[in-house]
Structure 1
Amino acid sequence: MPLNPDSPLAKLMATLPRAGKVEWIGLRPARDEVMVATEVVDAETGAGLVGDRYKGGSGKRGITLIQAEHLPVIAALAQRPDLAPSLLRRNVVVSGIPLIALKGRRFRIGDAVFEGTEDCDPCSRMEDALGAGGYNAMRGHGGLCARIVEGGTFRLGDAVEAL
């Protein structure tokens, strides 16, 4: 049942004190290959990120995002001293805005517009990437999947703004 947009809870959920920021961008060139970090990327409407192996796949998963503030938590739960974003296989690391607040909403990064579609749950590959318990270390911290509503270019340092 959808939330009444005029309800006090809906108003609280829509209140974001500031924009976020793109901290890292990565592309998966092919299955089981190391992610490639980049400073700029093109997003194509309904498709995905140019250069990413998932481009052209499911529109609701055109891009995956993870919260920078969750990386130290995942590292601690996986008993690792640090954590390279590429190990988590997400396209974009974002800081300063709660990604969960963008689920079901549209948001802009650079010239592109996205819509948060679903949680980005971890996959079994996290056991190999993070060690035993890696899957569970990421549960609840896997980030957000989004579809690309309007294609465009975005880059490191760009704002992540709810629309």
Structure 2
Amino acid sequence: MTEKIWWNGEVAALYIAPAADEPMQEVDNALLVADQGIVGDRYFAQAGTHSGPDGQSYEVTLIESEAVESVQTENKIMVTAADMRRNIVTKGFALSHLVDKEFRIGDTVLRGIALCEPCPHLMEKTSHKVAVGFIHRGGLGAKIISGGLINVGDPIHS
């Protein structure tokens, strides 16, 4: 029997970057393509820092807005969701429970693959203090099972 997660959240923000090291661009909606990624994003184009045969095994990344706010408060530093270089910022949904589970955003279906710990690339882009603040709350990497258009405000549920 599949474990059911009984809370709902929503998409708080969406980001893409056309290539590695390019600034993240906030968008109102994004087209997710199964087994590929988000149209217009660096990983869809195989142009991301972790692209290639030794790169990530997921097509989209998520982070909780609550984690970003918590790191800002606890560490007294200014960091934004865009600084974290994740595609989907969530609100009201615990991402850590979604590893190896399917969940929906709007009409799309995703599967949580692994928690995203801060990497050396993040430390280069921000600071050691930011990277340390996001240990065990750096987000979730996911695979797109069934694609479609998602929008800011779309519900997230399992």
Place the TM-score, normalised by the shorter chain, in its bin: 0.7 to 0.9
1:79 to 2:71 alignment = no
Separation in 2 of the partners of 1:109 and 1:132? 32
Residue type matched to 1:138 in 2?
Answer: F
Of 103, 112, 131 in structure 2, the residue corresponding to residue 135 of structure 1 is 131
Alignment map for 1:1-163 (pairs within 5 Å): 5=1, 14-55=3-44, 60-80=57-77, 82-162=78-158
For the 8 Å contact 2:33–2:146, the answer to whether it is kept is yes
Superposition TM-score, scaled by structure 1 size:
0.83
Residue type matched to 1:27 in 2?
Answer: I
Q: Which has the higher helix share?
A: 1
SS at match of 2:110: strand
Alpha carbons of structure 1 residues 44 and 30: separation in structure 2 relative to 1, 3 Å: same
Alpha carbons of structure 1 residues 128 and 56: separation in structure 2 relative to 1, 3 Å: closer
Separation in 1 of the partners of 2:92 and 2:114? 20
Q: State the 4+ residue runs in structure 1 displaced beyond 6 angstroms.
A: none
Residue type matched to 2:57 in 1?
Answer: K
Separation in 2 of the partners of 1:97 and 1:16? 10
Separation in 2 of the partners of 1:48 and 1:40? 14
Q: Structure 1 residue 21: deviation in Å?
A: 0.3
Q: Structure 1 residue 59: deviation in Å?
A: 7.7
Separation in 2 of the partners of 1:79 and 1:128? 19
Separation in 1 of the partners of 2:75 and 2:40? 30
Q: Where in structure 2 are there 5+ consecutive unaligned residues? A: 47-54
Separation in 1 of the partners of 2:150 and 2:56? 18
For the 8 Å contact 2:104–2:110, the answer to whether it is kept is yes
Q: Structure 1 residue 56: deviation in Å?
A: 5.6
For the 8 Å contact 2:103–2:156, the answer to whether it is kept is yes
SS at match of 1:160: strand
Matched residues, number: 150
Alpha carbons of structure 1 residues 74 and 130: separation in structure 2 relative to 1, 3 Å: farther
Percent of pairs identical after alignment? 29
- Look at both structures and tell me which one has the larger radius of gyration over its CA atoms: 1
State which drifts further: 48-57 or 93-102.
48-57
SS at match of 2:57: helix
For the 8 Å contact 2:63–2:95, the answer to whether it is kept is yes
Aligned alpha-carbon RMSD (Å) = 1.9
For the 8 Å contact 1:26–1:86, the answer to whether it is kept is yes
State which drifts further: 48-57 or 129-138.
129-138
